[in-house]
Every structure is written in structure tokens, then in C-alpha cells.
Amino acid sequence: MSDRGRRGPVSGRFYSSTMVAALSPSRAADFMQCPLLYRFRVVDRLPEPPSPAAARGTLVHAVLERLFDVPAPQRTLEHARSLVGGQWEALVGAEPELASVLPAELEDWIEDAGRLVERWFALEDPTRLEPAERELYVEHDLGGLLLRGYIDRLDVAPNGMIRVVDYKTGRAPSELFEGKALFQMKFYALAIWRIRGVVPAMLQLVYLGNSELLRYVPEESDLLATERKLKALWEAIARAAETGDWRPRRSRLCSWCSHQALCPEWGGTPPPLPTDAADRALHPVSRHAPDDADRDDPLEQ
């Protein structure tokens, strides 16, 4: 990416060399699920209370990442379980607010996280894996829009074939909702393709909640379609930013929304839009500080 400033793809606003318009899979999914949810998170920046499920997901991800720090023969279940306590202490040290979401039975909660790690060993053998990347931050300039996110694991075979892997501590979705999960993976695959010039050979979602693997073989046509969808999505976000029209979309997911009390669909009233709402909506972020480029939504952990 050039260090020179650029104009936004729709609004024509000029962004400095350190501020860019950006979109992650999570924020894209927010807008598709409910434009008002996107507004609450990106424009209003309303705080959301952390949940035990989200904290557990963060912990399990950290353990599976750190497991590959040791040589293959040492990547045993016993070693993985030994990492759980220390990784939790490290996470709480970095984010003290996480401690407030713990259930009273902390020992049982940590043991539950250990069981999820154990399930992973039944799905993949870490002694036979040598990830090329872990927690890989990727970004791709899509005509002035920065696509960005974190990939849990990237495997590269000796012949150059790439597998994109994402861990989920929840249960695999029904076929009706597989598309949302695969959209996230196609987003990553598009970024990898544009960055490396290689279409990933496999997209793999690892669901630890019910010990399932969801695999998908993408084609170039899939990724081109994803690229078109993201451009159209960004145009829709830009229109909402310029008009201030962030319409709620009621669904079964409303039950898990932290902002239901402010939603007109549930009798609430959103707060007044900030004076810089349009700029916030187009998500200008620090070029060198990806912040929440893509951390899993609690519903997807």
C-alpha cells in the first residue's frame, strides 16, 4: 500500500497517510446482519460487556497458538492443558476486565476450556502440522478500502498449496447458516489471493463445540464474487453514512444483542448520532494500529 493519502471509494473524502477506510469480516457481517448493529459498534462505539463464552474462546485460541511454540514431539495434550492456566493469567494481565466475566466456579470454567482443547486433538494432529503463520494479520487494498483481519492459522504445503484455518469454540452451524461462516473464510481467501497470487486450496473451520470440521475448496470465481459483494457492501455502508439511515433488521440474533434496549424494533431509541458520524462509519483507523481488525464475534466463538 502506498504511504500517500487516498480518497474513499464512494464518498470522495480524503484520508491521510495514517488513516484509511477499512472493513473486517466481523464488521461486514454486522452490517449484513443489521445496519443498526454496525452503527452501534462502529459509529457510536458503544461498549459491550464481555461474556464468559467470548473469554473462553479467546483463551482457547491463545492455547492453540502457543502450542506450536514447542517442537512437534512436545505438542501433546498434556502440554496443551498445561498452557491453559498460564495463558489465562496472561490474558487477564493484558485485559483485566476479563476477570469480571468469570463464573463463580473458575476452576470448572478453566477445565471446560481444557476440554475444548482436548477435542481439537481428536480433529487434528499438531505433531504433523507446521503452520506457516499463526494469528496472521492480513490487509488488502480494494480500491481505497482496506480489507483486514486476523487468520488463526495458515498452512503452506511444500508444493505451495495454502490452507486457511479458523478455530471456533462454538458448535458448527446448520446448513442454513453455513454461508455466514464461509463468507468470513472467503474474505480471508480473497486477501491471501490478492497478496500472494495463489488461491487457497482449502478453507477449514474447526468447530470445537461439537467436534466438527467444515471444509470448502474455493475457486477463483468464488473470490471474484466475494470481491464484488464487498464492494457493493461498502457502497451500502457509505450510503448509510451519508444519509444517517441505519435501519434495524430484526432476527433471531436480536436475543444476543447487547444493544436491544436502544433498538427501535424493541421499543428503544438510539442515541443521537455523533457529529463525526459519517467519518466514523467509514471506519478510518490507524494504518499502523489494526485494533480489532477481526476478533470473533461472541456468537461465533
pLDDT tens digits, residue range 236-251?
999 999 999 999 999 9
pLDDT confidence of residue 289: 39
Q: Is residue 234 very low, low, confident or very high in pLDDT (cuts 50, 70, 90)? A: very high
pLDDT tens digits for range 268-296: 999 999 999 999 998 655 443 344 444 44
User: Is the predicted pLDDT of residue 65 greater than 60, yes or no?
Assistant: yes
pLDDT confidence of residue 284: 54
Structural domains in the chain, sorted by start: 6-44+131-288 (3.90.320), 52-128 (no CATH)
pLDDT tens digits for range 178-224: 888 899 999 999 999 999 999 999 999 999 999 999 999 999 999 99
| Cα(52)–Cα(35) distance, integer angstroms | 26
| Cα(59)–Cα(227) distance, integer angstroms | 32
Q: Is residue 95 very low, low, confident or very high in pLDDT (cuts 50, 70, 90)? A: confident
pLDDT confidence of residue 101: 72
pLDDT confidence of residue 270: 96
pLDDT confidence of residue 187: 97
Q: Which residue has the cell 446448520?
A: 174
pLDDT confidence of residue 19: 58
User: Is the predicted pLDDT of residue 260 greater than 50, yes or no?
Assistant: yes
User: Is the predicted pLDDT of residue 17 greater than 60, yes or no?
Assistant: no
pLDDT tens digits for range 105-136: 788 888 999 999 999 999 999 999 999 999 99
- Long-range contact pairs involving 229-235 (C-beta distance under 8 Å, separation at least 24): 230/23, 230/28, 230/142, 230/145, 230/147, 230/187, 230/190, 231/9, 231/142, 231/143, 231/145, 233/23, 233/28, 233/31, 233/32, 234/9, 234/10, 234/21, 234/23, 234/142, 234/145, 235/9, 235/10
pLDDT confidence of residue 259: 96
pLDDT confidence of residue 103: 64
Q: Mean of the per-residue pLDDT values for the chain?
A: 87
